[in-house]
């Protein structure tokens, strides 16, 4: 089968992480638009190397290469080989990172357009996750990003802050398209088995810039609230929680924290829906401020009708308003975070009203249906002839 569309991502798919939800939505829209396509992603574990679902093919790169750069570059080569048989028919290649972008923009005899979806910039991100990465190395990553962005036909960003970061890399305004993340607004799901009576919830991974340490310190200040528990739904495997758990023990809150790991997306939605408050304590580091982020956890909490207490960062302000859908508090300030949570717990009617407004805000403006319509408009602008859909 020769495809007209391909979607490439240096990400495992499917997985329990937010990136997988995002990829599923975007790739589904792309393949719907072009009558099928090839999805090239990371595999491993039980995931099959190749899969066919109707007019879609999934190919998974599962080489076990320990060094990140070696792995990323091998993925580029693999992706190039997988585009190869389709080069005569491809119209759009949608990519998600420089290592999937490179083979798409440098394909020999390229006829296809490249849509580059930027959810984060490795040149910034990697400095926050790999302490030994030197500025010179990150500079090379930035050159790679620039090279790929320059040769892409459209750049899709999920937030204005990331749009600004992309403009800073020299991408002209007219090429940048804002397609916010979304959520599906579910009917209220049943209470999860084993859910405590009253709990705060954190959903996501455990990198330093997620601010879980701030949350733990804030939670220590709520020790007087009888029966209040904190549920942490980690999107990554349990072993990554070790440092956070150690901190929880040191702060004396460990017995009041419940841990869940890599739950299916639908189960996380249920945990969210029955929480008192959802907390997104993102730190005010350069990674969150300059590069920006588009925290899916905020959108999904709002969709679940739960009031959110989040750090007051520009990327979060694009999604929710202080006092309207929850509370925005200064980043990295446990005392302020604790106080905001305490007030919401003391005024449950007001908290419920915020949750209700949050849910309506998603229904009215931040559904996946709307995100997908935005993406489809980008494809249509590139290919007016394909609008026959």
Partner 1 sequence: MTSQVNRCTVTTGFFVLGRCGRAAVAACGQCGRPVCAEHATGALCPECALAQGYAPQDPHDPAWVRGYRRRHYERSSQTYNDAYWYSSFDEYDRGAFNPGDEYSYGGGDFDDDGMDFVDS
Task: Say whether residue 145 binds partner 1 (CB under 8 A).
Answer: no
Among 35, 55, 106, 321, binds partner 1 (CB under 8 A): 106
Tokens of 84: 């190869």
Among 8, 90, 119, 359, binds partner 1 (CB under 8 A): 119
Task: Say whether residue 191 binds partner 1 (CB under 8 A).
Answer: no
- What is the closest distance, in whole angstroms, from the C-beta atom of residue 225 to partner 1 in the complex? 27
Task: Say whether residue 24 binds partner 1 (CB under 8 A).
Answer: yes
Site for partner 1 in 195-224 (CB under 8 A): 203-210
Site for partner 1 in 341-360 (CB under 8 A): none
Total residues contacting partner 1 (rule CB under 8 A)?
98
Pick from 211, 96, 209, 113: nearest CA to 157:
96
Among 8, 294, 309, 316, binds partner 1 (CB under 8 A): 294
Pick from 286, 282, 206: nearest CA to 247:
206
Among 5, 6, 8, 19, binds partner 1 (CB under 8 A): 19
Task: Say whether residue 384 binds partner 1 (CB under 8 A).
Answer: no
Residues contacting 190, CB < 8 A, separation 6+: 270
Give me the DSSP letters along 92-109.
EEEESSHHHHHHHHT-TT
Q: How many CB atoms lie within 10 A of CB 83?
A: 23
Residue with token string 């091998």: 74
Please tell me the distance from the alpha carbon of residue 129 to that of residue 131, in angstroms, as a whole number. 6
Task: Say whether residue 281 binds partner 1 (CB under 8 A).
Answer: no
Q: Is the peptide bond before 14 cis (omega within 30 degrees of 0)?
A: yes
Task: Say whether residue 17 binds partner 1 (CB under 8 A).
Answer: yes
Handedness of CA 243, 244, 247, 249 (dihedral sign): negative
Task: Say whether residue 137 binds partner 1 (CB under 8 A).
Answer: yes
Pairing of strands 56-61, 277-280: unpaired
Task: Say whether residue 103 binds partner 1 (CB under 8 A).
Answer: yes
Task: Say whether residue 22 binds partner 1 (CB under 8 A).
Answer: yes
Among 140, 188, 250, 389, binds partner 1 (CB under 8 A): 140
Among 35, 52, 347, 365, binds partner 1 (CB under 8 A): 52
Pairing of strands 198-204, 228-234: parallel
Give me the DSSP letters along 291-305.
I----HHHHHHHHTT
- What is the closest distance, in whole angstroms, from the C-beta atom of residue 125 to partner 1 in the complex? 6
Among 293, 309, 338, 354, binds partner 1 (CB under 8 A): 293
CB closer to partner 1 out of 111 and 140: 140
Site for partner 1 in 360-379 (CB under 8 A): none
Site for partner 1 in 154-183 (CB under 8 A): 158, 181
Site for partner 1 in 234-273 (CB under 8 A): 235-237, 239-240, 242-244, 264
Could you tell me if 159 and 318 are in contact, meaning their C-beta atoms sit under 8 angstroms apart?
Answer: yes
Residue with token string 């009253």: 198
Site for partner 1 in 54-83 (CB under 8 A): 56-59, 61-74, 76-78, 80-82
Task: Say whether residue 94 binds partner 1 (CB under 8 A).
Answer: no
Q: What angle do CA 264, 207, 40 make, to 5 degrees?
A: 55
Could you tell me if 57 and 1 are in contact, meaning their C-beta atoms sit under 8 angstroms apart?
Answer: yes
């Amino acid at each position: 089968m020769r495809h007209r569309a391909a979607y490439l991502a240096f990400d495992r798919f499917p997985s329990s992480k937010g990136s997988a939800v995002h990829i599923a939505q975007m790739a589904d829209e792309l393949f719907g638009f072009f009558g099928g396509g090839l999805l090239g992603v990371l595999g491993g574990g039980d995931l099959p190397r190749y899969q066919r679902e109707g007019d879609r093919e999934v190919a998974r790169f599962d080489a076990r290469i320990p060094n990140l750069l070696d792995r990323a570059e091998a993925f580029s080569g693999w992706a190039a080989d997988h585009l190869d048989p389709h080069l005569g028919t491809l119209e759009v290649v949608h990519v998600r990172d420089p290592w999937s972008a490179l083979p798409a923009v440098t394909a020999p005899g390229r006829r296809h357009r490249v849509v580059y979806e930027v959810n984060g910039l490795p040149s910034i991100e990697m400095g926050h996750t790999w302490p030994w990465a030197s500025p010179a190395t990150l500079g090379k990553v930035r050159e790679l990003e620039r090279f790929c962005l320059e040769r892409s036909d459209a750049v899709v960003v999920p937030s204005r802050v990331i749009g600004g970061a992309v403009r800073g890399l020299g991408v002209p305004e007219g090429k940048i398209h804002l397609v916010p993340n979304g959520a599906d607004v579910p009917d209220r799901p049943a209470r999860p088995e084993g859910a405590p009576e009253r709990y705060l919830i954190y959903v996501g991974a455990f990198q330093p810039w997620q601010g879980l340490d701030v949350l733990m310190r804030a939670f220590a200040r709520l020790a007087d609230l009888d029966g209040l528990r904190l549920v942490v739904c980690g999107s990554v495997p349990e072993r990554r929680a070790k440092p956070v758990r150690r901190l929880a023990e040191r702060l004396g809150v460990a017995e009041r924290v419940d841990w869940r790991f890599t739950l299916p997306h639908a189960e996380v939605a249920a945990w969210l829906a029955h929480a008192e408050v959802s907390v997104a304590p993102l730190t005010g580091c350069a990674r969150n401020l300059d590069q920006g982020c588009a925290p899916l956890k905020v959108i999904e909490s709002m969709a679940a009708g739960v009031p959110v207490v989040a750090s007051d960062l520009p990327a979060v302000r694009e999604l929710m308003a202080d006092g309207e859908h929850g509370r925005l508090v200064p980043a990295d300030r446990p005392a302020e975070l604790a106080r905001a949570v305490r007030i919401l717990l003391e005024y449950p009617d007001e908290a419920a009203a915020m949750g209700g407004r949050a849910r309506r805000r998603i229904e009215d403006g931040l559904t996946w249906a709307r995100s997908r319509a935005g993406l489809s408009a980008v494809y249509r602008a590139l290919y007016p002839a394909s609008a026959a859909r």
